Amino acid sequence: MHHTQGISPAASLAVVSCVLFIYDYTLTFSKEVDLFWRQPRRTWVFLFFMANRYIGLLGRIPEFLGIFFGETGSPVCSGLLFADRVIAVLLQVVGGVIMMARVYAFYNKDRRVLSLLIAVAAFCL
């Protein structure tokens, strides 16, 4: 595909993915309010859910800025790329903790299972 003017195909796809991502958030926001924000008790599961949800949403900002305003090789572009990588790592850690909590709950909160999960996670880091 030959690109001569305007927005590049890669930037177009990035815009589409960002729009769909934000659209999905708007579709599920009312359920989030009902199921999480209106609950009287806040737990660490709530904290990790919110971190997973909003780090992902806010993490689109550096990606979007990098696509449209970053010049390849510039310090701004390098900073945005670094921010994007940090956000990706944070999301992986938060997602991993959520999955560990689910497995732990599936096994009736057996501390041996939790110990194994923590050991495997530590080994992977």
Q: Do 107 and 113 touch, CB atoms closer than 8 A?
A: yes
Evaluate if residue 1 carries a pLDDT over 60. no
Over residues 35-90, the pLDDT tens digits come to 888 877 778 888 888 899 899 888 888 877 777 776 767 777 788 888 888 998 99
pLDDT, residue 70, reads 66
As given in the structure block, the two tokens for residue 67 are 């696509």
Going by the DSSP 8-state scheme, the letter that residue 98 receives in this structure is: H
Evaluate if residue 119 carries a pLDDT over 90. yes
Dist. CA 58–CA 86, nearest whole Å: 12
Give the 3-state secondary structure percentages of the chain, helix then strand then coil, rounded to 5.
Answer: 80, 0, 20
Evaluate if residue 102 carries a pLDDT over 90. yes
pLDDT, residue 56, reads 85
Over residues 11-50, the pLDDT tens digits come to 788 888 888 988 998 999 999 888 888 877 778 888 888 8
pLDDT, residue 11, reads 77
